[in-house]
Each structure stands twice: as structure tokens, then as C-alpha cells.
A and B are shown apart, each in its own frame.
Chain A
Amino acid sequence: DIQMTQSPSSLSASVGDRVTITCRASQRISTYLNWYQQKPGKAPKLLIYDASSLQSGVPSRFSGSGSGTDFTLTISSLQPEDFATYYCQQSYSSPYTFGQGTTLEI
């Protein structure tokens, strides 16, 4: 199975900050990497697919990059509604594993 490791596990930031979350795969996965945002009590929401493609309706302050084993999610200027937990997920091969999550806190 492909292991996905996110860092950091939690992050304190302020409105307006630029934030980067990293995700590392245990083997090469090309660009088969997706990012999700989850708020408490809600279902996850797709933000970025195929490592760098912005899902329709997602603000442009979110961006993704990377290929192979190392990936990043960047939020260029944090907004109050961005405080949530973020997960990466590989779709290279089954089982489709998720990272452990990064909680973004004020």
C-alpha cells in the first residue's frame, strides 16, 4: 500500500498569511494526488485534483504543485473560512490512501 505523510499535523496561522502544507508519498505516484478540505461536522470537499488542477468553484488562493513523491498545497492569503483540516489522497492505486490530515488553526 502507498503511505501518504502530511506535514505539519497542525499549523497556527493568521488571516492574510501564506501557508504551505506538504504531502509525501511512499512511492512515486506521478500527479495522481488530490487535496480536500474538511470543516467540523461536514463532509470533505475537493479542492485540488491531479496535483495542480483547481476544482470548479474553489477560490484561486488555493494552489497545488508537485509530482512523483512530493506535493504541496498552498493558500496564498488565508481567509477566516479557510481554518479547517486538509487531507491529501493518492489515486494512483488501490487502496486509495489519505494523509493523516493537517489542521489549520488561528
Chain B
Amino acid sequence: QVQLVESGGGLVKPGGSLRLSCAASGFTLSDHYISWIRQAPGKGLEWVSYISSSGSIIHYADSVKGRFTISRDNAKNSVYLQLDSLTTEDTAVYYCAKLLNRFDPWGQGTQVIVSS
């Protein structure tokens, strides 16, 4: 069964950091582009970042550029999203998804709350 599972979310103070992980099962993560998408409470979906299968191509949304870093460890079948300099505007559920001109499948999401 093709599945993605996120972890690493939690409560963090403004200015703090978190590292999110996305683990795959049922397929070889290293063969695929992976993306992060977030959803603020009661709001719509916002694409955040993606990374190519080799890690050589990376894109970020302007809203997170310079603060978030996407990376991958294909040996561990995992993709990561390092979140630095967090603000309350980053409070959201963060999803990872396989990207092949569409996002599918999605993980169940991990919640990030930025609050003092």
C-alpha cells in the first residue's frame, strides 16, 4: 500500500524551529519528487516546497523562502522540511505528497502551532 507518513510537528514559540519528516512505505521514495503543502486553520491549501528525486532541483514558495529548507535522505526513504524563524503565520497542518504533475498520495499531515 502506497503511503506517506509525516511526523515532527508540535508547539513552538515564534522565532523557533522544527524539523518535519515524511516517510514513505509501499514505494521507493528516491524515485519520486516530493512536495510539502500546508493548510492554516480554516483556510485553503498552500504549496510550500518540492524536491526532485535526486535532490538537485528544489523550489520554495516566496512565503517560506530563506526560512524553510527541504532535503531528503534516500537511504532512509525520507524527506525533511526544516522550519526556521517561525512566525504565527506558519501555524498550519503540513502535508507531504508525491508529486508527478499532481499531488498523490498525501500523508495524513502533521500539525505545527507557532504561539508564545
Dominant secondary structure of chain A at its interface with chain B: loop
Chain B's interface size range is 10 to 19
Residues on A with beta carbons closer than 8 Å to the beta carbon of B59: 94-95
Q: Give the CA-CA distance A99 to B107 in the complex, in Å.
A: 20
Residues on B with beta carbons closer than 8 Å to the beta carbon of A100: 44
Chain A's interface size range is 20 to 34
B residues in contact (CB < 8 Å) with A: 35, 44-47, 50, 59, 61-62, 95, 101-109
In the A-B complex, list the 9 residue pairs whose CB atoms are closest, starting with the nearest.
A46-B104, A43-B106, A49-B102, A34-B102, A98-B45, A96-B47, A91-B101, A94-B59, A101-B44
23 contacts between A and B (CB under 8 A): A32-B101, A36-B45, A36-B103, A43-B95, A43-B108, A43-B109, A44-B45, A46-B102, A46-B103, A46-B105, A49-B101, A50-B101, A89-B102, A89-B103, A91-B101, A91-B102, A95-B47, A96-B35, A96-B50, A98-B45, A98-B47, A101-B44, A101-B45
